[in-house]
Structure 1
Amino acid sequence: MILRTGAVWLGLLALFLLLAGQIGWHEAVTGAVVAGLATAWAVRIRRHAARRFACSPGTMRHAGRALAGLVPATARTGRVLLRAAITGAHPGHAARRGFPRGQEDHPAEAGRRACAVLLASLAPDSFVLRADPGRDEALIHALGRPGPASDSRWLV
């Protein structure tokens, strides 16, 4: 528990310093305080949560793949929106994709589902409209022609 809490604090501090744009004494102190408050909030939520989530080590691989795809997806989105502005067409559409839910009460599966929906919704050219319990599919809104997901368990 202490090691995980320390890793969360360190990760939040690093993220704060990265997003601050510069590293100085004031940023370091502010980052340490903000990371401490966010870590305390996360620990409190984790203790009192009715539903447990757990993220596997493979989550970072899928997050990296989703983040690496942001630049090409942004370029595709720009092209599609520019073409839509010129032609007046509506480029968006909804598509169903297979999305195996796994065990509903298993923390690792709940964490995978939450991360998969978040990562799929961070893309500039698509977002998850619905991933209903009990159905092994997700409804995704996309601009242009979305490629198939490389892993249906992750939607990205």
Structure 2
Amino acid sequence: MILRTGALWLGLFALYLGLAGQAGLHEAVTGAVVAALATAWACRVRRHAQRRFAWPAGALRHGGRTFAGLVPATARTGRVLLRAALTGFHPGHALRRPFRRGPEDDPAEAGRRACALLLASLSPDSFVLRADPGRDEALVHALGAPGPASDPRWLA
């Protein structure tokens, strides 16, 4: 618990300093205070949460692939929207994609579902509309041609 809390504080502190734009004593003190407050808030939420989440296996691999695909997806989206503006063609459509939910009470599966839905919605050319409990599918809105068949555990 202490190791996880320390890593969270360190990560938030580094994020603050990276986004501050300059390095100095004022930024370091402010970053330490903000990281401490955010860490305390996260620990309190984690302690009192009714639904538990765990960091899912494969999240870094799928997250890296998602972030690596943002530039090409943005270019595709720009082309599709430009064509739609010039021709009046409506490029959006909803797709039902397989999405294996897994057990509802398993923290690792809950974390995987949360990461999968967030990563699937980060792309500028698609986002998740619905992923209802009890159904092993997700309704995804997409621009342009449908992408390749997705991994049913990650929607990516």
Task: Find out whether 1:40 has 2:13 as its counterpart.
Answer: no
State the identity %: 80
Q: What is the TM-score of this pair, normalised by structure 2?
A: 0.94
Counterpart AA for 1:121: S
Q: What is the TM-score of this pair, normalised by structure 1?
A: 0.94
Runs of 4+ in 1 over 4 A off after TM superposition: none
Alignment partner, residue 12 of structure 1: 12
Structure 1 unaligned regions, length at least 5: none
Asked if the contact 2:56/2:109 (under 8 Å) is kept, the reply is no
Alignment partner, residue 30 of structure 1: 30
Q: Distance in 1 between matches of 2:76 and 2:132?
A: 28
**Closer/same/farther in 2, CA of residues 146 and 35 from structure 1, 3 Å limit:** farther
Output aligned runs, 1:1-156, within 5 Å: 1-156=1-156
Counterpart AA for 1:95: L
Counterpart AA for 1:155: L
Counterpart AA for 1:98: P
Counterpart AA for 1:77: T
Q: Report deviation, 1:137.
A: 0.4
Q: Distance in 2 between matches of 1:57 and 1:22?
A: 35
Q: Distance in 1 between matches of 2:61 and 2:7?
A: 18
Counterpart AA for 1:91: P
User: Alpha carbon RMSD of aligned pairs, Å?
Assistant: 1.3
Counterpart AA for 1:61: R
